[in-house]
């Protein structure tokens, strides 16, 4: 596991941390037969993370489906753009 530096707060304080979650392998997820939200040709890290949390993962998945695919004021491309900008602003690479 690699240590990563992340900036915390406006004072420039740098702290080392290592996040660790026991995530299922892509093969384990394929064996579960879960339908992917997106077909990238591989099991994405966010999907693996959601499966790793059986109590909240299904709820988050339903929320995601509603936000990204349900009726609303934004079209699909606009929703994807908001998700991408939000993730980037938080240094999230999912």
Q: Indicate the pTM of the whole model.
A: 0.60
Looking at the structure of the chain, the number of domains it has is: 1
What range does the domain containing 58 cover? Answer: 4-89
Q: What is the pLDDT of residue 73?
A: 97
How far apart CA 21 and CA 65 sit, in angstroms, is 24
- pLDDT over threshold 90, residue 78: yes
* Helix then strand then coil, % of the chain, to nearest 5: 45, 10, 45
pLDDT digit string (tens) for 50-70? 888 889 988 988 998 899 999
13 domain-assigned: yes
Does 30 fall in a domain? yes
């Amino acid at each position: 596991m690699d240590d990563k530096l992340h900036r915390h707060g406006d004072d420039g304080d740098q702290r080392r941390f290592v996040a660790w979650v026991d995530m299922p392998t892509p093969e384990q997820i394929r064996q579960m037969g879960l339908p992917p939200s997106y077909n990238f040709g591989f099991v994405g890290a966010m999907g693996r993370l959601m499966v790793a949390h059986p109590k909240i993962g299904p709820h988050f998945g339903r929320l995601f489906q509603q936000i990204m695919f349900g009726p609303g004021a934004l079209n699909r491309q606009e929703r994807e753009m908001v998700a991408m900008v939000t993730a980037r602003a938080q240094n999230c690479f999912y």
